[in-house]
């Protein structure tokens, strides 16, 4: 079986991925040959593709492709490729190490918003020695949008800190006795927002969630709420968020993702005093653990496991 690595990777990243994937595949999938998309291989021999947002059209060039494993957790860019062969199963990256990294970022942002540490950072720049009131965690409601692998990892760490944790999903989620209040469907969103001190977006980007965080959404939040976007930039209508920040309705935003990445130098987010931004670094794919996830999926698939049973199988109709 021939497998190819393809995607939006620079030379160093490409080397690191090959170095991580080669031993993982050798251990779990003996006989698999790993190519790079820039190598001279027979396109008809390629049966598996391991991809990081490949250029549109790339996957259509391999006529016998049978499985696509994404190195990214979010597959919105991959699904936007109109030439993506419809019959080829797609698997997204589900990696416990990445979930941990995301949960850490969410904890940092929630703690900093709850305790007003971003406000203290602003005051430091102005040499202002001023203390504000300190709330208890059980006085703070955190709403997670999305309760997938990463949402759950974050929510499960927020509960023991004492926060009221609620999660909103578009579709019903199985109930669980884990201290997370669940609500599903469009109509359930606004009531949750009205009680949210902090909203954390971890939704997949689909036509149903694009632009979800817009003026009405933001207006439903109590004055002074915080927003954390660690999902996709296109979930947010930037002009509406900037207006809410300027008006002080949203006190602080922590943004990791943007409609255009890298964020253009002239964008207001760079210098907005109430925005803390990260360069899409909330949860990087960890090559070591991710290579093992890839190899395990390929090994399972080679033994005849149905694609739906692979870790991270993407339901194309649902979009994640």
Which residues lie near ligand GLV (CB under 6 A)?
Answer: 72-74, 93, 285
Q: How far is the CB of 257 from ligand GLV (least distance, A)?
A: 7
Ordered strands of the 250-255 beta sheet: 180-184, 164-169, 141-145, 198-201, 225-229, 250-255, 275-277
Which residue in this structure is represented by tokens 């990294």?
101
Task: Choose between 93 and 212: whose C-beta lies nearer to ligand GLV.
Answer: 93
Q: How far is the CB of 154 from ligand GLV (least distance, A)?
A: 14
Task: Choose between 32 and 93: whose C-beta lies nearer to ligand GLV.
Answer: 93
With CB atoms as reference, the residue minimizing the distance to ligand GLV is 74
Identify the active-site residue in 92, 114, 182, 232.
232
C-alpha distances out from residue 71 to 25, 31, 124, 212, 215, Å: 15, 22, 40, 26, 33
Among 99, 209, 198, CA closest to 146 = 209
Identify the active-site residue in 272, 280, 302, 316.
280
Q: How far is the CB of 51 from ligand GLV (least distance, A)?
A: 12
Q: How far is the CB of 79 from ligand GLV (least distance, A)?
A: 12
232 belongs to the catalytic site: yes
Task: Choose between 105 and 276: whose C-beta lies nearer to ligand GLV.
Answer: 105
280 belongs to the catalytic site: yes
Task: Choose between 93 and 253: whose C-beta lies nearer to ligand GLV.
Answer: 93
Contact (CB, 8 A) for 48 and 67: yes
Active site residue ranges: 232, 280
């Amino acid at each position: 079986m021939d497998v190819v690595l393809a995607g939006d990777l620079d030379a160093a990243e490409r080397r690191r991925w090959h170095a991580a994937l080669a031993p993982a595949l050798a251990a779990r999938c003996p006989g698999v040959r790993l190519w790079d998309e820039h190598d001279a291989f027979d396109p008809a021999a390629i049966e598996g593709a391991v991809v990081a947002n490949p250029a549109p059209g790339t996957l259509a060039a391999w006529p016998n492709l049978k499985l696509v494993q994404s190195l990214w957790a979010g597959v919105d860019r991959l699904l936007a490729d109109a030439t993506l062969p419809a019959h080829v199963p797609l698997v997204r990256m589900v990696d416990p190490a990445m979930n941990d990294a995301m949960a850490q970022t969410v904890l940092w942002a929630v703690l900093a918003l709850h305790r007003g540490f971003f406000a203290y950072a602003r005051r430091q720049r102005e040499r202002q020695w001023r203390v504000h009131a300190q709330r208890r965690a059980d006085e703070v409601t955190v709403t997670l949008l999305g309760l997938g692998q990463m949402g759950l990892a974050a929510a499960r760490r927020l509960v023991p800190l004492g926060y009221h944790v609620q999660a909103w999903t578009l579709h019903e989620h199985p109930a669980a006795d884990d201290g997370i209040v669940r609500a599903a469907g469009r109509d359930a969103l606004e009531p949750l927002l009205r009680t949210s001190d902090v909203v954390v977006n971890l939704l997949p980007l689909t036509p149903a969630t694009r632009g979800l965080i817009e003026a009405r959404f933001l207006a439903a939040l109590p004055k002074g709420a915080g927003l954390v976007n660690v999902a996709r930039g296109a979930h947010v209508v930037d002009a509406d968020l900037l207006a809410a920040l300027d008006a002080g309705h949203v006190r602080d935003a922590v943004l990791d993702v943007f409609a255009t990445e890298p964020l253009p130098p002239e964008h207001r987010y760079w210098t907005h005093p109430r925005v803390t931004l990260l360069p899409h670094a909330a949860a990087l794919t960890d090559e070591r653990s991710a290579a093992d996830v890839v190899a395990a999926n390929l090994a399972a698939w080679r033994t005849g496991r149905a694609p739906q049973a692979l870790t991270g199988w993407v339901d194309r109709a649902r979009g994640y």
